[in-house]
Structure 1
Amino acid sequence: MKDTNLKLGQKPRARDLGLPFPGTTGPLNAITDVPGVAVGFCTLTDPARNMRTGVTAILPRPGMVPMPVWAGQYSLNGNGEMTGTHWIHDAGYFVGPICITNTHGVGAVHTGAVRWMIDTYADYFQNHHAWAMPVVAETYDGVLNDINALHVQPEHAIAALNAASTGPVAEGSTGGGNGMICYEFKGGTGTSSRLIEIGGQSYTVAALVQANHGIRPWLTILGRPVGQLMPEDSLHATEMGSIIVIVATDAPLSGLSLRQVAKRAAIGIGRGGTPGGNNSGDIFMAFSTANAGPVPQFAPAVVTKQELNGEVLDPLYLASVEAVEEAIVNAMVAGEDVATFKPQGVICRAINHDRLRGIFGGSEAR
């Protein structure tokens, strides 16, 4: 059975293969279903230089004026980096973009993101004592990319930020996801969204992941032991990667509630089978685009904000879990076969669409 609903040249996603994920998605089934959120990529691929890496950029509040983004952060296992989180824990917000890259590219991307903020918010930085603290996260791509060559430079972060748009989000080997492996299949960038209703009001909850975690025997999709049913072409016996999860919503939430949302990403990745291995940096952040307003330095002494009652957040927690779970599978479904850099001469395989479809009772494509 062919994917007849796809546009010419468009990659299938997990639902196109008949995988029965629960929940109602937004129109794009992507983090950009949250109004105003933009995503951009700078993808760096050059086999002659053993280069397969890049930068993913998320703009929670695109525009020329800096505004706080309410946020919470949680680390299931801290073997990795996400900058700016000390302030998020203390203040419950951040200002500026989120970027995701490889482990050795964090410094360069941070420099590029700071430059982009200074240029974009020019009046703010020129006329006030402003400081830039972007969020930059990473996962390790040294199996498919010569990570020690430091291919990622500040200008690549700027390019990803300038490319950010509110439309469909390209998945798989895009941006920072270019060199990533997930459950020993080709992984990378994945996204998904959910529509929910709380108190008679509709909200969107969505996730974007950079999936680089897990080993094949662990992989479970919607309760099926996919990794055990598809054991061929495994790459390594122990986990060597990580996962970054960004959850976005337009629901009005406090920093404390957003930390609770970020925690639910652990359940979302756990549904895929990972126990959160020692070598995996499982690092998550959630943000809300509600309650837009000036940076605190320019706000009045008394600030009034809306906030959902914690007692009614269960639908939002469930939506977060479901969006994360589906985003990871979307990242794998978008993969393609890629030659490894270390060791050389091995192929990191994409997950087989026909076999995956068959596991869930569908017909194989012809």
Structure 2
Amino acid sequence: MTKPRARDLGLPFPGTPGPLNAITDVAGVAVGFCTLTDPAKKMRTGVTAILPRPATVPQPVWAGQYALNGNGEMTGTHWINDAGYFLGPILITNTHGVGAAHLGATRWMIGHYADYFAKEHAWAMPVVAETYDGVLNDINALHVQPEHAIAALEARSTGPVAEGATGGGNGMIAYEFKGGTGTASRRIELGGQGYTVAALVQANHGIRPWLTILGKPVGALMPEDALYTGEMGSIIVVVATDAPLSGLALRQLAKRAAIGIGRGGTPGGNNSGDIFLAFSTANEGPMPQFAPAVSARQELNIELLDNLYLAAVQSIEEAVVNAMVAGEDTPTVKPEGRICRGLDRRRLAEIFA
């Protein structure tokens, strides 16, 4: 049975979503999951894969990165900040799975871009990000292995994106409700041209009293079965667009993720890794080392981008709620014997009725 999403419950999110209301509304972007669940092994984890371009020839995507609070990891960002682009996939997993996922992504890149790696002095620097799933998963058992990253990449699709306990989101908690993977998109017009802006989040952040949804104090209205005394999670946000943007504009776009998650109530706790990446699929072309000495790229005038920033904020806000709306009651492993509750969809709908 298909679970309802936040809009299906009557939540009046602003803006115009794309046909899937997902990051895959940006043409060419694919998402795949490897979800690992075995209660006998206290296993509830996985890997989420995002491939910005079809895996045919090695082409960079232009990108910008920003960290609101750095208690977390996103590999490859030093180069993104210096060069303004990256090659290959984005993977999201748990904190102790970063190395395994990075190795899996590297193997996958070497295989899919075989000529490039065989003939050139090429190197793989995939983006791998994480949030901590040690409340619902035995994170120290190192369940995530390189083959799981490869499986997530091979399972990629440009269609609807499964939310909640999928891929790396399997063991995640948001505002002390079951969290995980969420996504949303917006369609906008700039300079007479239509564009898509979309987000995918791995939501594992916040405490119950902070939770606000579209101005309603949902956390205060649903205080039961809280788990924490303070912030102990993180959130990864990936923003995709087909709008042609400069590296500066993409960094500015990534910064807006702080406002998007802030609309849900989080101030960005000290123990939270709030780390964001924005990329554009526009300006397709070869790796820079193979480009002409003088290259032409299209870029939207940065003075026109306010509505694009707003679309990103709206997408992120909705994606976080979608992640929680998809949640189901889940037993904890540390400590054992408690339940991380799924957000009560009936009560949420009644709040907005």
Q: Tell me, yes or no, whether TM beats 0.5.
A: yes
Aligned match of 1:262: 254
1:131 aligns with 2:123: yes
Task: Name which of 83, 90, 107 aligns with 2:82.
Answer: 90
Aligned match of 2:59: 67
- CA shift for structure 1 position 62: 1.5
Aligned match of 2:136: 144
Aligned match of 2:268: 276
1:328 aligns with 2:320: yes
Aligned match of 1:338: 330
1:49 aligns with 2:41: yes
Show structure 1 runs of 5+ residues with no match.
Answer: 1-8, 362-366
Task: Name which of 217, 241, 244 aligns with 1:249.
Answer: 241
The code of the aligned residue for 1:59 comes to L
Q: TM-score, normalised by structure 2?
A: 1.00
Aligned match of 1:78: 70
CA distance in 1 between partners of 2:238 and 2:223 (Å): 29
Alignment of 1:134-213 (within 5 A): 134-213=126-205
1:285 aligns with 2:248: no
The code of the aligned residue for 1:241 comes to G
- CA shift for structure 1 position 237: 1.0
The code of the aligned residue for 1:29 comes to N
CA distance in 2 between partners of 1:43 and 1:275 (Å): 30
The code of the aligned residue for 1:87 comes to W
Aligned match of 2:311: 319
Cα deviation 1:60-100 (Å, max 9, x = unaligned): 01122110100000000000000000000000000000000
Secondary structure at 2:201's aligned position in 1?
strand
Aligned match of 1:231: 223
Cα deviation 1:150-173 (Å, max 9, x = unaligned): 000000000000111100000000
The code of the aligned residue for 1:162 comes to E
Secondary structure at 1:320's aligned position in 2?
helix
Alignment of 1:109-124 (within 5 A): 109-124=101-116
Question: Runs of 4+ in structure 1 displaced over 6 angstroms?
Answer: none
Aligned match of 1:4: none
CA distance in 2 between partners of 1:111 and 1:178 (Å): 21
Aligned match of 1:303: 295
Secondary structure at 1:167's aligned position in 2?
coil
Report sequence identity in percent.
82
1:107 aligns with 2:96: no
The code of the aligned residue for 1:310 comes to I
The code of the aligned residue for 1:331 comes to A
CA distance in 1 between partners of 2:270 and 2:25 (Å): 33
Show structure 2 runs of 5+ residues with no match.
Answer: none
